[in-house]
Structure formats: C-alpha cells, structure tokens
Structure 1
Amino acid sequence: MDTVYFATSNQEKMLIAQTVCSKFNINVEQASIDIDEIQGEDPVIIVQDKARRAYEGLSKPVVVSDDSWDIPALNGFPGPYMKSINKWFHSDDFLRLMKGINDRSIILHQLLAYYDGSTMKVFSNDIHGKVIDESRGKNDRSPNMTVTVLDHDNGKTIAEVFEQGEKAVVERYLTRPDAWHGFVDWFNSETKK
C-alpha cells in the first residue's frame, strides 16, 4: 500500500482523505506542520504556495488542501478568505448578508495540491449548494456550515451531516464527487508507471 502525507490539522479533512484514499489502497498519514498561508484572490496560487511550504518543512512528498467559497450573488464572497471570515462572522451574519437576495446559490471550490519537490499537481472539484434562510445544526468552527446545504446532502446543512456521526460522514464522501477522487486516479496511474 502506497502512503501519502497530508499536511492538515483539520480532522474533518483528514477523515475525507482517509475515506477516499483507503478505498483505492492508499494510506494517508497526517503531517502536523504549521504553514503560514499567503492571502490573495486566486485559490490555485494559494494552494500551490501552501504545498511548497509544506514540502520544505517535511522534506517529503505532500498533499495540502484549501477550500474557497463562492456566493455568486455576493460577487464571489468570501472566496479564499473563509478562514478569516470564520473568526469574524456568526451564522446570523451570513443570513443578514443574504436577506432579500433571490439567488442563494453557493459553490465550494475544493483544491488539493501534491508536491514532491519537482512535480506540482493541482486537483479541484466544485460542489454546489445554497444558503438557506435559517440556521440548523451546530458547528463552532465554521458558522457557514449551519446555513449551507450542499447538493447530495439530502437537504441537510453541513453541520447536520456532521452531527449524524462519522459513519454518515464517511458514506457522504464515498458517494459524492471530491477533489480526492481526482488525486487518487492520478496518483495510482503515476505509481504504476
């Protein structure tokens, strides 16, 4: 079984990686490394820089992830700034921003970057959903999770999905497209050359 190192402190992201990769006979090891993320508008540049910094800190091939949230009615807000927004906003703030807006669509842009010192490969996946008009569920880390329903989640907010427990979360990632699926296809083809 091949092993990849995933630089993240986020246990939910680690669960996603392990769930998808184990299905394809890839072991994922968590790499604890503190990475200062650059700020900017382009999520691809951000995730590539993050991969380079993680590789420099670990000196071994590594995968990093970064998400960017896009609310079309708010001109793409909050984009790659969700980590900062999570510190400033509560779910009610998202609801106030969306008050009176008919287009309540939201897009989660998932990005992964693999870097081994010479090969940089970026994988992306878009998950569509909507911002609902009331908060449902509980999640202290990210207030948008209580007001966001993503496609394939049967009308549940992200927070409500996680409240169902690890088994439900694992099932979610086995049946829904994810950037990790693109990674495993590429990685398996590269390691079998």
Structure 2
Amino acid sequence: MSKREEKGVNSNDKLLLVTSNENKFREISEVAKSYGIKIEWLNIPKFEIQADNLEEIVRYSAITIYQVIRKPLIVEDSGLFINALNGFPGPYTNYVRRKLGLEGILKLLNNVEDRSAYFKTVMCYVSDKEINLFTGVVNGRISERIRGEKGFGFDPIFIPENEERTFAEMSTEEKNKYSHRAKAFMSFLNYYMRENRKT
C-alpha cells in the first residue's frame, strides 16, 4: 500500500507543478513517487516580481497563474542565502547565477572564513479554496571550489550539513535526503494528504 492509499487521497486529484526548470520538476517528481502521486508539469516561466523575500514572490506568481488556468497548482521559488554576504543573493539567486555565476560567488568569498549558508525553498499551493505556503531549509556551507557535474544552479558549490560532498556530487535521490526543495514539497504533501482523506 502506498502512502497515498494509507492517507486516503482522492485518486481523481491531480497536482500541477508550474516551472520552466526541468531539473526542479525531476526532483519534485522523485519525491512524489514515494507517495504514489504523479506530478503534472506545466512548463511555463513564473510571473515574478521584485521583492526582498521568497514568500511574496512565489505567492504573487502562483495567484497570477491560477487566475489564468483556474486549476489547482504549485509554484516554488528557491534562494541561496550566504551569511557572510548578509543573506545575498537570497531572492535574487537566479539573477545572480546568470550574471555572476558560480565563479563570481566564490570570488566574493575569497579569503572569507565564514562560509556558512543555507538554501531555502517556498512553495505556494493555490486552489479554488485556499492559498498556502510551505517552506524547506537546508543549512550548509559554500565549498572552496566548484565540484560535481550533477544537479543545477549553485549545487556545485553548496555542501549540506553532515556531508562532505556538494549537491552536484550527489544523485537526485541522495540530494533529496537533504534538499530544501524536497523538505518543502514533503511538508506540502503531508498537508495535502491530510486535507484530502476519503470520507
């Protein structure tokens, strides 16, 4: 019996994930499989606003897309927060990755002793009944150099707590044991299945 059957989720329910990032879809799908849930992928860009926190960004995006397609959906946004840089790049992570890249972040931390950082994901679930946010955080540190060929984004320079490998040196299954994104999605799934028990 799957976790879905144990929890009594309605088999007619479908989860729609909005993202233009195939890697994010794969990671989330891997977690969903263990719950016996299939995720449908809506491959479109998020409608993003400039804001200083992930919650505001993802909430706006999810509501905007829901108003167009009128189907229950999930939108996520993630950020890398580096303590020595006062939380930078945070909600600007994707932009900074495109403009500075991995090498740019490593240069900013050149000769910096405190390399502690954390990844944070915020997911927003919107339906005709509700708007809810779910958060996942993983603490770790920035590596001294780029390591690994798996993963995406800043994975090659982020080492989660209690590990010596970067995310980019792990398989998707291994990464999901630590991942901020997996934590946020599992938090959502636990809520979703509680709220959708069969009567």
Query: What's the TM-score, normalizing by structure 1?
Result: 0.87
The Cα of 1:159 is off from its aligned counterpart by 2.1
Q: Which runs of 4+ in 1 moved over 6 A?
A: none
Q: Do structure 1's residue 28 and structure 2's residue 39 form an aligned pair?
A: yes
User: Hey, what does 1:151 align to over in structure 2?
Assistant: 161
Of 70, 73, 94, the residue aligned with 2:105 is 94
> CA–CA distance in 1 between the matches of 2:107 and 2:174?
33
Secondary structure in 2 aligned to 1:16? helix
The Cα of 1:4 is off from its aligned counterpart by 0.5
Per the alignment, do residues 136 and 172 of structure 1 end up closer, same or farther by CA in structure 2, a change over 3 Å counting? closer
User: Hey, what does 1:128 align to over in structure 2?
Assistant: 139
5+ unaligned residues in a row in structure 2: which ranges? Answer: 1-10
Per the alignment, do residues 140 and 61 of structure 1 end up closer, same or farther by CA in structure 2, a change over 3 Å counting? closer
The Cα of 1:47 is off from its aligned counterpart by 0.9
Secondary structure in 1 aligned to 2:74? strand
> CA–CA distance in 1 between the matches of 2:19 and 2:183?
17
User: Hey, what does 2:184 align to over in structure 1?
Assistant: 179
Structure-to-structure mapping, 1:100-115, within 5 angstroms? 100-115=111-126
User: Hey, what does 1:73 align to over in structure 2?
Assistant: 84
Secondary structure in 2 aligned to 1:66? strand
> CA–CA distance in 2 between the matches of 1:184 and 1:141?
24
Q: What percentage of residue pairs aligned between the two structures are identical?
A: 26
The Cα of 1:140 is off from its aligned counterpart by 9.8
> CA–CA distance in 1 between the matches of 2:194 and 2:155?
35
Q: Aligned residues, how many?
A: 184
The Cα of 1:139 is off from its aligned counterpart by 6.8
CA contact (8 A) 1:150 1:158 kept: yes
User: Hey, what does 2:49 align to over in structure 1?
Assistant: 38
The Cα of 1:84 is off from its aligned counterpart by 0.6
> CA–CA distance in 2 between the matches of 1:22 and 1:139?
21
